């Protein structure tokens, strides 16, 4: 499944491993916007195409994030 994350002016898309996972921890000065089940095209592939920088992203579902005591979002 593809996810997108927008932090400031930067957009990234990443694919979760087929074995799945439960948490994503993001630390930054502002809360990012995260979507699941997005369609991705273009951009620059990194990490064997598991991460894409500056892609075109469409569709998807908003993911609610909550704060944690470390000062980031998950």
Across the range 2-19, mean pLDDT stands at: 88
Q: Please, what is the average pLDDT of the chain?
A: 84
pLDDT of residue 71: 57
Dihedral through CA 3, CA 10, CA 67, CA 26, nearest 10? Answer: 70
Domain that holds residue 17: 2-62
**pLDDT tens track for 46-70:** 988 888 999 999 999 999 887 766 6
Please state the pTM of the whole predicted model: 0.77
Inter-residue long-range contacts of 38-45, CB under 8 Å, 24+ positions, other chains counted: 38/2, 38/3, 38/4, 38/13, 39/2, 40/2, 40/4, 40/13, 43/13
Task: Count how many domains the chain has.
Answer: 1
pLDDT of residue 18: 74
pLDDT band with cut points at 50, 70 and 90 for residue 40: very high
Asked if the structure places residue 58 within a domain, the reply is yes
Asked if the structure places residue 67 within a domain, the reply is no
């Amino acid at each position: 499944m593809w996810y997108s994350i927008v932090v400031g002016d930067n957009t990234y898309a990443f694919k979760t491993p087929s074995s799945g996972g439960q948490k994503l921890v993001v630390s930054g000065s502002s809360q990012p916007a995260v979507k699941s089940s997005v369609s991705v095209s273009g951009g620059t592939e990194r990490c064997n195409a598991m991460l894409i920088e500056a892609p075109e992203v469409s569709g998807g579902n908003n993911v609610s994030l909550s704060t944690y005591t470390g000062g980031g979002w998950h």
